[in-house]
Amino acid sequence: MKSPVDSGLPSVWTPATFPDEAAWSFDLSADDQKALIAYGHGGAAADLESHFRTGAAHWVNLLNNGPGFVRLRHFPIDVLTDHQIERAYLGLGALLGRPVGQDRDANFITHIRDERVPAEPGVRKYRTNLRQDFHSDGSDLVGLLCLQPAKTGGESRIVSAHAVYNEMLRRAPHLVDVMYLPMPWDRNEEQGQGEAPFFELAPISDINGIPRIFFIAWYIRDSQRHPDAPRLTDDQREALSLVERIANDPAFHIEMSFQPGDIQLLNNTTVLHSREEYTDHTDLALRRHLLRLWLTTDAQSAHQLLRDGIRKQDDTNAAAVS
């Protein structure tokens, strides 16, 4: 039988752990904003790194060795062009890790917005306004910069994957064992030439003696549309559902609403996140719009398969996630 994650570790938390937001929410100062604006206008990376050396080290420590999440507020989106925002955002992200590709073209930035496309297998849910249940992304860290919130809905919820793991052990330890065995994952029509439309990976693996969780239940369930994919067992289906039930319990998760200029940063293997369904303004210029970064860090936290993001499709090792 597996042992629980030490409850004294900062990665094991519930909302009650944080009586206020000061432990994980930080306002960018006027000087911080000036440094980002200067870099957005073409400034030197060395200047940005010098300015944020102390702050970035603190945020990296919270992400890799702490609760696994940080929110930064007041990114200066209102005084930069779209290109300058992306440049400054990438520059800030590069202080926390190495940006990696997120799609078949290996783009470093993904625009998260409702593209009015049908919700079906092969369409990644970030392109719709649908709810995304608790999951993780395919990198060590993920960042989301809010340019425009939804008219209503779209709240983000985060949960300690280690708290969920411990609760699973308490309720149904045999299902934790199931999560350590490979399951099939749908590649979402982003497989490389000659690759199968699914791959196999255990949702939980131990790295340096600590459980690391990679979880997107709908990708595992969607794998069943491929006749050659292994069939999910009753225990596997129940294990996926148990993770979702625990994570969706308000006693376990924190909810936050995005405001323009907010950046949410998460460690993908110690924190799961969800997004509520949302309604946009009819004006497309006012629709909900986030910019996503995937970052690989010096301190390996994810399975090696997931650390390099999605490579350009002439490199046939793509594994599309989230």
| pLDDT tens by residue, 142-173 | 999 999 999 999 999 999 999 999 999 999 99
Q: Tell me which residue has tokens 């849910």.
A: 125
Q: Which residue has the higher pLDDT, 308 or 88?
A: 88
Total domains in the chain come to: 1
| pLDDT for residue 316 | 44
Domain annotation covers residue 10: no
Instruction: Give the separation between CA 270 and CA 148, rounded to whole angstroms.
Output: 27
Q: Is residue 309 classed as helix, strand or coil in its secondary structure?
A: coil
At 315, which amino acid appears?
D
Domain assignment of residue 313, yes or no: no
112 within domain boundaries: yes
The string of pLDDT tens digits covering residues 51-99 is: 999 999 999 999 999 999 999 999 999 999 999 999 999 999 999 999 9
Q: Which of 178-192, 220-234, 246-260 has the lowest mean pLDDT?
A: 178-192
Question: What's the pTM?
Answer: 0.92
Partners of 159 in the β-ladder: 253, 272
Q: What angle do CA 167, 203, 165 make, to 5 degrees?
A: 10
Q: Distance between CA atoms of 28 and 243, rounded to whole angstroms?
A: 35
Domain that holds residue 160: 24-306
CATH number at residue 238: 3.60.130.10
Q: What is the mean pLDDT of the chain?
A: 92
Say which residue the tokens 């604006």 belong to.
Answer: 37
Instruction: Answer whether residue 319 is part of any domain.
Output: no
For residue 317, being part of any structural domain is answered with no
d(CA 137, CA 210): 19
Residue 289 lies in a domain: yes
What percent of the chain clears pLDDT 90, i.e. is strictly above it?
A: 79
**Given this model, what pLDDT does residue 314 score?**
62
Instruction: Give the helix/strand (H/E) hosting 27.
Output: strand 25-27
- pLDDT, tens digit, for every residue of 103-138? 777 889 999 999 888 777 767 888 899 999 999 998
Per-residue pLDDT, 138: 85
| Residue 279, in any domain of the structure | yes
d(CA 128, CA 221): 19
Helices (H), 6-159: 30-40, 45-65, 82-94
Note the Cα 208 to chain centre separation in Å.
21
Is 6 domain-assigned?
Answer: no
